Amino acid sequence: MSYSLNIEKTNNGYILSWEEDWSDEETNISDIRHEKEVIENECPPENHPYYKEDGLGEMDEEQYTMKKLLERVAEYFGCSYDKFSKTNLKITFNKKGHKTY
């Protein structure tokens, strides 16, 4: 079995799309469904540790949205958060860099 996920950048976020096998055991009907999910640009809530106002905090809107996108991609491919695990995925923006266009 193979998995495929398409990511489209839009003006206000990202659109994830994929195909999913679907079947109804009662009627023996099976089909392929086309699924979509929207991840919109948004700032972290004010009470969130990633909230950034005038340089205080860790993430701006673009970084927070990218973090949500990458976490969703990881979840789609089977990597999910487990509060009892010693090894969970952590996405941070903590090093100085430069923008590429």
pLDDT (tens digit, 9 = 90+) per residue, 57-87? 567 788 888 989 999 999 999 888 888 988 8
For 66, the 3-state DSSP assignment is helix
Q: Kindly state the tokens that stand for 43.
A: 């700032």
pLDDT at 46: 64
Q: Kindly state the tokens that stand for 20.
A: 């999913």
Count CB-CB contacts under 10 A for residue 89: 12
Alpha carbons 81 and 85: distance in angstroms, whole number: 8
Q: Kindly state the tokens that stand for 101.
A: 């266009």
**Which residues are paired to 14 by β-bridges?**
9, 39
56: confidence class by pLDDT, cuts 50, 70, 90: very low
pTM for the model stands at: 0.72
Count CB-CB contacts under 10 A for residue 93: 14
pLDDT at 13: 93
pLDDT (tens digit, 9 = 90+) per residue, 12-51? 999 999 998 888 777 777 888 899 999 998 776 666 656 5
